[in-house]
Amino acid sequence: MSYQEHITKLTHLIQSKNGTWDGINAESVERMRLQNRFHTGLDIAKYTAGIMRADMAAYDADPANYTQSLGAWHGFIAQQQMISIKKHFGATKRRYIYLSGWMVAALRSDFGPLPDQSMHEKTSVPALIEEIYTFLRQADARELGLLFRDLDAARAAGDLAKQKQVQAKIDNFETHVVPIIADIDAGFGNAEATYLLAKKMIEAGACALQIENQVSDEKQCGHQDGKVTVPHEDFIAKVRACRYAFMELGVENGIIVTRTDSLGAGLTKQIAVSHTPGDLGDQYNAFLDCEEVAPGDARNGDVIINRNGKLLRPKRLPSNLFQFRAGTGEDRCVLDSITSLQNGADLLWIETEKPHVEQIAGMMDRIRAVVPNAKLVYNNSPSFNWTLNFRQQVYDAMQAEGKDVSAYDRAKLMSVDYDATELGVRADEKIRTFQADASKRAGIFHHLITLPTYHTAALSTDNLAKEYFGAAGMLGYVLNVQRQEIRQGIACVKHQNMSGSDIGDDHKEYFAGEAALKAGGAHNTMNQFAA
């Protein structure tokens, strides 16, 4: 039903109470209902899962329909992203939010800043999901509140055309609530612990859970050394635990993203259980770095594997970990990916050491030979030096083309001296088109940057501190912050409105009528920004 139809229905309800509800205004109720579309996190998870599934189908039809997100470490940051997207592009279509375990560890733990090693409180992840959606729902309420004010002004002016225009915007309002891909790390324990945490995250609103195949108590950031993977059966149990959580809560189309760190992980804590030659356990163990031993050569405490009649001793490190053979990372990564998709995963995440389209595509070609519609979530990581990586790629390409590259020092291509050169310009263009190119060639459905707002917060704060505490003084804030907010139409310049002051005034008027003491009167200094 339309806005006016809902009001008519509510009017009939109020009238049916024989005068006892006459103090309730039907239009005010409808406004409050529109401003609070989602009543629970499960409502959000079901709604956003539908969006992701539709986007996945659209990508399968045309890889130009890839999706994107930026990582957010606070509800306000996520809110401002979506307000900005709606302002600049008119819609939130194919734009999501990423919730990074790295940023939770670094910024949201009661222990203080922590490395990305699953040491933070696991409940801080669902708490952040809930916080993000609280801020996104508030963005809905704020924008709708502004539309309601426009509608009231049009009515007061007797402008019927304007009334119709504003009502159409209300009827076709697009929410700021979008899918969150949420990092559950390695599950924070065994499969039961994974299931319990997954439930909390889904109940908070997450429609997509990203889980990695590392050992929970040895978990490392995907871009650090020392990663330790687990056998497939252990990981599959956690994938199933996530699916059970989705299904128990009625989110049957929830999305599971399985991340493999095998490309850069050379260690395992366990020898996989194998019952028959060629089973998953045997395939996992086949990558172990082993040495053949005779029965009499076995040492006390040795672990021995029998393969094809040969006795093999996996090399065990002083840390009690076993190592894989060098150069097997890609093969293990491909096997991990195929196995995940064959056991309930919806999307893959392959962590690479550099952003290189053909490297990613080489693995995806092998995966898609077995699972044709395999799709990737890819981390456009700030851990990559994008400028240096792509300048080196262009350097190598120019050299292969037979061009003279003697003017460039490959090891020092980060230098500002190369910014305006042919090499620098070509590299920047490859960075600009990387997402579209990789989505078309390498099966990347979703591009995200894990930690962008961590870096933007640091950069903008550094620039402000340098100016404000220096010779510029207050001009450092006015020139580089407030004046830019006003001229660029940044919603937060009216920070009282952004924080919900006008929404509160509306409610006061609903509840108390003319007796309401409102904050948005003539003496509110925010009126200086009305123009």
* Strands across the sheet containing 310-314: 290-292, 310-314, 305-307
CB-based burial, 491-524: b 16+ in 10 Å, e otherwise: bebbebbbeebbbebbbbebeeeeeeeeebeeeb
Q: Per DSSP, which regions of 361-442 are E strands? A: 376-379
CB 146 within 8 A of CB 501: no
Beta bridge partners of 400: none
Q: Does residue 492 have an active-site annotation?
A: no
Query: Which pair of structure tokens corresponds to residue 182?
Result: 């949420």
SS (H, E, C) 193-227: HHHHHHHHHHHHCCCEEEEECECHHHCCCCCCCCC
Q: Which of 502, 498, 528, 527 is nearest to 80 (CA)?
A: 498
Looking only at the bridges linking them, the beta strands covering 305-307 and 310-314 are antiparallel
Q: Which of 117, 91, 92 is nearest to 106 (CA)?
A: 117
Q: Which amino acid is residue 283, in one-letter code? A: Q
CA distance 408 to 397: 13
* Marked catalytic residue, from 207, 221, 242, 290: 221
Q: Is the dihedral of CA 32, 38, 41, 44 positive or negative?
A: negative
CB 164 within 8 A of CB 213: no
CA distance 264 to 328: 10
Phi/psi region, residue 177 (left: phi>0; alpha: psi -120 to 50; beta: rest), is beta
Could you identify the residue written with the tokens 């620039």? 463
CB 349 within 8 A of CB 341: no
CB 130 within 8 A of CB 73: no
Q: Which of 183, 264, 256, 279 is nearest to 229 (CA)?
A: 264
CB 182 within 8 A of CB 201: yes
Q: Say how many residues make up the chain.
A: 531
Give the H/E segment covering residue 98.
Answer: strand 95-99
3-state helix, strand, coil in the chain (%, to 5): 55, 10, 35
The helix-helix angle for 124-157 and 501-512 (nearest 10°) equals 60
CA dist 304 → 280, 288, 312, 313, 522 (Å): 18, 12, 6, 5, 82
Q: Which residues are catalytic?
A: 221
